[in-house]
Amino acid sequence: MRTIIPQHQKPDSDIRLALLVQGGVLLVAAILVYLVYGQASAMAVASGGLVALANSGLLAWRMRGAERRVDTDAQQDLRMLYRTGLERFALVVFFLALGMGVLKLDPPVMIAGFVLGQLAWLVGVTIRLGRTH
């Protein structure tokens, strides 16, 4: 079923706030770690944070793509959601394994950066949901 959605009913797709919060928190964390613990730890924190940022960026990209469609096929949305979930899982596993296994970054510090990035994403999304309702 295809329907044309009037402009005033188009959903607000601005999830940039959450991404900005995440990016800002990670930048500050990487700078602080660089000043206190040095370059190697800062690289590990930044890498972990970038994995979290890529994870949420993929979700935002898929969300934007879904919003561009004008059809109202809920089944297709559901398929897209499950596919996005799998893609994000694979992305996180691949990049964490790459950082810890191949690039030999300090695993606890990299995980700390990743966890910080995920928590910043949670906070950003919660702020956005608060603004929506």
Partner 1 sequence: MDMIHAVLYIAGALMMGLGALGASIGIGILGGRFLEGAARQPELIPMLRTQFFIVMGLVDAVPMIAVGLAMYVLFAVAG
Return the residues of window 77-116 that contact partner 1 according to CB under 8 A. Answer: 77-78, 81-82, 84-85, 88-89, 92-93, 96-97, 100-101, 107-108, 111, 114-115
Among 24, 28, 72, 131, binds partner 1 (CB under 8 A): 72
Q: Tell me how far, at minimum, the Cβ of 59 lies from partner 1, in Å.
A: 5
Structure tokens at 109: 């510090």
**Helix 107-132 × helix 16-37 angle, to 10°:** 150
Return the residues of window 14-53 that contact partner 1 according to CB under 8 A. Answer: 15, 18, 48, 52
- At a CB cut-off of 8 Å and minimum separation 6, what does 131 contact? 17
